[in-house]
């Protein structure tokens, strides 16, 4: 039934469950999976900052030259934080690559051979919805809660926006 499955993943627990469900559906139908991750550049909250600090303690100077380091305030309107130290775009790319690699391992462990990935930047809901046009999936699967703060729910979460605007079947996983 579902031959082309788009799975949005941000590394959160709910998105890990979404990857597992999507992989299971693809394996059962002989389908293919497209994994989508939107880099959190400009969308940093305290949970992500803690993850960066844990994964790369004291590594900031080694990540690149001064040209690589973003000196601007990294905060989206929905997050009222700014980083206490300069953060490199490269950190976000490394984290995004790790999230995608883990999702690929999960999908392949389920026996799915056809796996492709999209690593995007920008507003997560908009980028995921835009990718639907290109991918033409039969179903979109995403986690109910991602990495954003609870206050983001009041403004509408990524999964809510995708569910409301998705032109194909959309499954939200808890």
Higher confidence at residue 68 or residue 35? 35
CA 111 to chain centre: 22
Expressed as residue numbers, the domain containing 85 is 4-173
Average pLDDT over residues 102-120: 97
Q: Structurally, how many domains does the chain consist of?
A: 1
- What pLDDT does residue 49 have? 59
- What pLDDT does residue 148 have? 53
- pTM of the model as a whole: 0.73
List the CATH number of the domain containing 53.
Answer: 3.40.50.620
Non-local CB neighbours of 64 within 8 Å, separated by 6+ positions: 88, 90
What is the C-alpha separation between 135 and 137, in angstroms, rounded?
A: 6
The three-class DSSP label of residue 87 is strand
CA 85 to chain centre: 23
- What pLDDT does residue 16 have? 95
> pLDDT (tens digit, 9 = 90+) per residue, 4-28?
999 999 998 999 999 999 999 999 9
Phi, psi of 84 (to 5 degrees): -80, -15
> pLDDT (tens digit, 9 = 90+) per residue, 47-59?
555 666 666 565 4
Closest Cα to residue 112, out of 19, 9, 41, 12?
19
What is the C-alpha separation between 11 and 4, in angstroms, rounded?
A: 21
In a 10 Å sphere around its CB, with 0-12 CB exposed, 13-18 middle and 19+ buried, how is residue 82 labelled? exposed
């Amino acid at each position: 039934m579902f031959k082309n499955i788009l799975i949005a993943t941000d590394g959160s627990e709910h998105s890990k469950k979404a990857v597992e469900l999507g992989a299971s559906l693809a394996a059962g139908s002989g389908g293919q999976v497209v994994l989508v991750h939107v880099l959190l550049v400009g969308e940093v909250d305290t949970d992500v900052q803690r993850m960066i600090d844990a994964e790369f303690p004291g590594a900031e100077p080694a990540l690149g030259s001064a040209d690589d380091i973003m000196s601007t305030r990294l905060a989206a309107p929905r997050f009222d934080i700014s980083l206490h130290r300069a953060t490199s775009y490269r950190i976000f790319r490394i984290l995004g690559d790790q999230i995608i690699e883990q999702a690929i391992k999960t999908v392949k462990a389920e026996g799915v051979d056809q796996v492709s990935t999209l690593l995007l930047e920008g507003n997560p809901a908009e980028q995921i919805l835009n990718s639907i046009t290109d991918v033409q999936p039969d179903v979109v699967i995403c986690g109910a809660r991602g990495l954003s703060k609870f206050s983001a729910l009041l403004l509408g979460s990524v999964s809510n926006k995708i569910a409301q605007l998705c032109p194909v079947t959309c499954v939200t996983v808890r």
